[in-house]
Amino acid sequence: MRRSNRLLKLIAGLLRATQGSVAIEFSIGVPVMVIILIPLVDLGMGIYQQMQVQDAAQAGAQYAMTHGWNSGAIQNTVMGTTALASMSASPPPVKTCGCPDDSSIAAAACGSTCADGRTAGTYVTVSAQATYAPLFPYPLLGSSVTLSAQATARIQ
């Protein structure tokens, strides 16, 4: 009888004990937080690089607006805008003529008259690409993702 009472008191004491529970909670919580945090950081880095690619395309279009058409200089501006090693101005910048409407630019001969009576404008379309390699390969993304952006601007 004494033995069973002692055993019951020991079990009851173990159930009330709180020493070490923080260590157990920590050992369960940290891996879960790391599993959530690493993909979030990876996603943030990918979004930041996409923003850099978009900025590079826009910088090329702005260069064309201020300096006129020069394909090589526009490409150099795109590639020199960021420190991304995989940045490229691909496909190369394109110069076209057209008439703008609400949502797009309709192709037209340079110097022709548009439907609204204005002269067709000269436009440059600048593209930029970079490859993003995530920290870990994800089932949906694979080992790398090609980020791309395009900017169009009217030039004089």
Positive/negative CA dihedral, 151, 81, 92, 141: negative
Question: Phi and psi at residue 98, in whole multiples of 5°?
Answer: -175, 175
Rg (CA), the chain: 30
Q: Domain total for the chain?
A: 1
Q: Which pairs from 118-121 meet CB under 8 Å and 24+ separation?
A: 121/97, 121/154
- Token look-up 């920590």 returns 26
pLDDT by position in tens, the chain (length 156): 677 788 888 888 777 777 777 788 888 899 999 999 999 999 999 999 999 999 999 999 999 999 999 999 999 999 999 999 999 999 999 999 999 888 888 889 988 998 888 889 999 999 999 999 998 888 887 788 999 999 999 997
Burial of 103 (0-12, 13-18, 19+ CB in 10 A): exposed
Provide CB contacts within 8 A for 13, sequence distance 6+: none
| pTM summary value | 0.78
Domain that holds residue 91: 2-155
Provide CB contacts within 8 A for 115, sequence distance 6+: 99
